[in-house]
Amino acid sequence: MASVEFANVRKSFGTHPVIKGVDIEIADGEFVILVGPSGCGKSTLLRMLAGLENISAGEIKIGGKVVNNLAPKERDIAMVFQNYALYPHMTVADNMAFSLKLKGAPKSEVDKRVKPAAEILGLSPLLDRFPRQLSGGQRQRVAMGRAIVRDPQVFLFDEPLSNLDAKLRVAMRAEIKELHQRLKTTTVYVTHDQIEAMTMADKIVVMHDGLVEQIGAPLELYDEPANLFVASFIGSPAMNMIKGKLDPNDGLKFTTEKGVVLPVAKAPQSAKGRTLIYGLRPEHMTIADGGIPAEVVVIEPTGSETQMIMRVGGDLVTGVFHQRISAKPGETVGLSIHAEATYLFDAETGKRLA
Amino acid sequence: MTMTTTAKQPSAFGNIARSNTAVGLFFMLPAAVFLLCFLTYPLGLGVWLGFTDTTIGRDGIFIGLENYQALARDSVFWMAVYNTIFYTLIASILKFGLGLWLALILNEHLPFKSFFRAIILLPWVVPTVLSALAFWWIYDAQFSIISWSLMKLGWIHSPINFLGDPNNARASVIAANVWRGIPFVAISLLAGLQTIPQSLHEAASLDGATGWQRFRFITLPMLTPIIAVVMTFSVLFTFTDFQLIYVLTKGGPVNATHLMATLSFQRGIPGGQLGEGAAIAVAMIPFLLASILFSFFGLQRRKWQQGGQD
**Rounded to a whole number, what is the distance in Å from the CA of B196 to chain A's nearest CA?**
10
Q: Report the SS3 class of residue A240.
A: strand
- Residue B65 inside a domain? The answer is no
Whether A151 has its CB under 8 Å from any CB of chain B: the answer is: no
- Quick one: A332 and A218 in the same domain? no
Pick from A225, A257, A291: which residue ends a domain? A225
Cα→Cα distances A80→A5, A155, A162, B279, Å? 20, 8, 12, 61
Within this chain, do residues A179 and A57 fall inside the same structural domain, yes or no? yes
- In angstroms, rounded to a whole number, what is the distance separating the alpha carbons of residues B187 and B100? 9
Determine contact: B303 vs chain A, CB below 8 A. yes
Query: What is the CA B40 to chain-centroid distance, rounded?
Result: 20
Same domain? For A190 and A304 the reply is: no
Give domain status of residue A230, yes or no: no
Per-residue model confidence (pLDDT) at position A73: 87
Q: Which residues of A touch B304 (CB under 8 A)?
A: 88-90, 130-132
Is B257 within a domain?
A: yes
Confidence of residue B162 (pLDDT cuts 50, 70, 90): confident
Interface contact flag, A78 B206, Cβ < 8 Å: yes
- Nearest chain A residue to B306 by CA: give it: A132
Fill in the amino acid letter for B107: N
Residues 6 or more apart whose CB falls under 8 angstroms from that of B139 comprise B146, B162, B163, B172, B248
Instruction: Enumerate residues 6+ apart whose C-beta is below 8 A from A260.
Output: A292, A312, A313, A315
Query: Chain A within 8 Å of B218 (Cβ-Cβ)?
Result: yes
pLDDT in tens, B131-161: 888 888 898 888 888 888 888 888 888 888 8
Residue B238 lies in a domain: yes
| Mean pLDDT value across chain B | 86
pLDDT > 50? residue B1 = no
Q: Which residue of B has its CA nearest to A156?
A: B206
Which domain range does residue A241 map to?
237-346
> Would you call the peptide bond into A237 cis, given omega within 30 degrees of 0 as the criterion?
yes
Task: Tell whether the model's pLDDT for residue A284 goes beyond 90.
Answer: yes
From the list B266, B85, B77, B87, the residue with the least C-alpha distance to B167 is B87
Please tell me if residue A73 touches chain B, with a CB cutoff of 8 Å.
yes
Let me know whether A221 and A242 are in one domain: no
**A298 belongs to a structural domain:** yes
The distance of A206 to chain B (nearest Cα, Å) reads 25
Query: What gap in Å lies between CA B155 and CA B172, rounded to an integer?
Result: 19
A272 touches chain B (CB under 8 A): no
The reply to whether B42 touches chain A by the CB within 8 Å rule is no
Q: Based on the structure, what is the number of domains in chain A?
A: 2
Percent helix / strand / coil, chain A, rounded to 5: 30, 35, 35
Q: State how beta strands A65-66 and A57-62 pair.
A: antiparallel
pLDDT, tens digit (0-9, with 9 covering 90-100), for B91-138:
999 999 999 999 998 888 778 888 888 888 888 888 888 888 888 889
First-last CA distance in chain B: 53
Instruction: Report CB contact under 8 Å: A50, B213.
Output: no
Residue B33 lies in a domain: no
| Residue A243: predicted pLDDT | 92
Question: Is A232 inside a domain boundary?
Answer: no
Same domain, A159 and A265: no
Q: Does residue A204 sit in the same domain as residue A243?
A: no
Question: How many whole angstroms separate alpha carbon B86 and alpha carbon A49?
Answer: 53
Determine, yes or no, domain membership for A128. Answer: yes
Lateral strand order in the sheet of A285-301: A315-321, A306-312, A285-301, A332-337
What is the CATH classification number for the domain harbouring A183? 3.40.50.300
Is the separation of the CB atoms in A225 and A349 below 8 Å?
no
Q: What's the pLDDT score for residue A281?
A: 94
Cβ of B202 within 8 Å of Cβ of A88? The answer is no
Who among B202, B207, B303 is closest to A102 (CB)?
B207
Residue B202 at interface with chain A, using a CB cutoff of 8 Å? yes
Chain A nearest C-alpha distance from B201 (Å) = 9
At position A51, the amino acid (one-letter code) is G
Contacts of A99 in chain B (CB under 8 A): 207-208
What's the domain count of chain B?
1
| Average pLDDT value for residue range B242-264 | 88
Name chain B contacts of A133, Cβ cutoff 8 Å: 307-310
Give the mean pLDDT of B268-290. Answer: 91
Q: Are residues A204 and A279 in the same domain?
A: no
Q: Which residues pair with A293 in a beta bridge?
A: A334
CATH number of the domain within which A305 lies? 2.40.50.140
Closest CA to B221 of A316, A130, A160: A130
Residue B256 lies in a domain: yes
In a domain, B291, yes or no: yes
> Do A130 and A33 have their domain in common?
yes
Q: Which of B199, B213, B304 sits opposite A85 (nearest CB)?
A: B199
| A107 inside domain | yes
Q: Residue A1's pLDDT band (boundaries 50, 70, 90)?
A: low
What count of other Cβ atoms lies within 10 Å of the Cβ of residue B56? 12
* Together in a domain, A305 and A221: no
Contact B237, B181 (CB under 8 A): yes
Interchain contact B205–A (C-beta under 8 A): yes
Substitution target from A49, A77, A96, A98 for chain B, most B beta carbons within 10 A: A98
Mean pLDDT of A73-95: 90
> Picking from A114-123, A241-250, B10-19, B40-49, which range would have the lowest pLDDT averaged per residue?
B10-19
Strand, helix or coil for residue A145: helix
Nearest CA to B193 out of B222, B229, B214, B232 is that of B222
Instruction: Return the pLDDT at B7.
Output: 52
Across the A/B interface, how many CB contacts are shorter than 8 Å? 73
Q: How far apart are CA A247 and CA A250, in angstroms?
A: 5
Percent of chain B beyond pLDDT 70? Answer: 92
* Whether residue A178 is found in the same domain as residue A303: no
Flag whether A205 is in a domain: yes
Task: Note whether residue A169 is domain-resident.
Answer: yes
Which of A191, A225, A259 is a domain's end point? A225
Q: Can you give the CATH number for the domain in which B262 is found? A: 1.10.3720.10
B101 assigned to some structural domain: yes
Name the residue facing B197 among A83, A99, A129 (closest C-beta).
A83
Chain A residues close to B207, C-beta within 8 Å: 73, 98-99, 102, 146, 150
Residue type (1 letter), B79: M
Alpha-carbon gap, residue B92 to A75, rounded angstroms: 42
Residue A280 amino acid letter: L
Q: What is the mean pLDDT of residues A53-78?
A: 90
Task: Name chain B contacts of A73, Cβ cutoff 8 Å.
Answer: 205-210
Give the per-residue pLDDT at B142: 82
Per-residue pLDDT of B184-233, as tens digits, reads 999 999 999 998 998 999 999 998 888 899 999 999 988 988 888 899 89
Looking at the structure, tell me whether residues A111 and A221 fall in a common domain. Answer: yes
Asked if B204 reaches chain A (Cβ–Cβ under 8 Å), the answer is yes
Assigned domain for A90 exists:
yes
Distance, CA of A235 to chain centre: 10
Say yes or no: A90 and A200 in one domain: yes
Q: What is the mean pLDDT of residues A320-333?
A: 90
DSSP code, position B52: B
Contact A313, A354 (CB under 8 A): no
- Find the residue in A nearest to B197 (Cα): A85
Cβ contact (<8 Å) for B208 and A130? no
At residue A304, does pLDDT exceed 80? yes
Centre a 10 Å sphere on the Cβ of residue A96 and count the other Cβ atoms it contains. Answer: 29
Lowest mean pLDDT segment, chosen from A116-130, A288-302, B50-64, B295-309: B295-309
Please provide the average confidence, as pLDDT, over all residues in chain A. Answer: 90
pLDDT band, very low/low/confident/very high, at B301 (cuts 50, 70, 90):
low
Q: Could you report the predicted ipTM of this complex, rounded to two decimals?
A: 0.81
Q: pLDDT grade, residue B300 (50/70/90)? A: low
Neighbouring-strand partners of residue A312: A315
Is some CB atom of chain B closer than 8 A to the CB atom of A290?
A: no
For chain A, give the percent of residues with pLDDT over 70. Answer: 100
pLDDT at B165: 87
Note whether A263 and A339 are within 8 A (CB): yes
Q: Which of A225, A253, A285 is the last residue of a domain?
A: A225
B contact test, residue of A62, A73, A157 with most B CBs within 10 A = A73
pLDDT at B2 over 90: no
Structural domain of B132: 71-301
B305 in A contact zone (CB under 8 Å): yes
